Amino acid sequence: MEVIRYDEAADTYIVASGFGEKADWFLNLQKTPRAKIQVGFRRVEVESRRLPQEEAEREVLDYACRYPIPMRELIHIIGYQWDGTEEGLRALTRLVPIVALQALSTPLP
Residues forming a β-bridge with 85: none
| pTM assigned to the model | 0.89
pLDDT for 34: 96
pLDDT for 108: 58
**H/E stretch holding 77:** helix 68-78
Asked whether 64 and 89 are in contact (CB, 8 A), the reply is yes
pLDDT for 1: 84
**Domains of the chain listed by start with CATH number:** 2-103 (2.30.110.10)
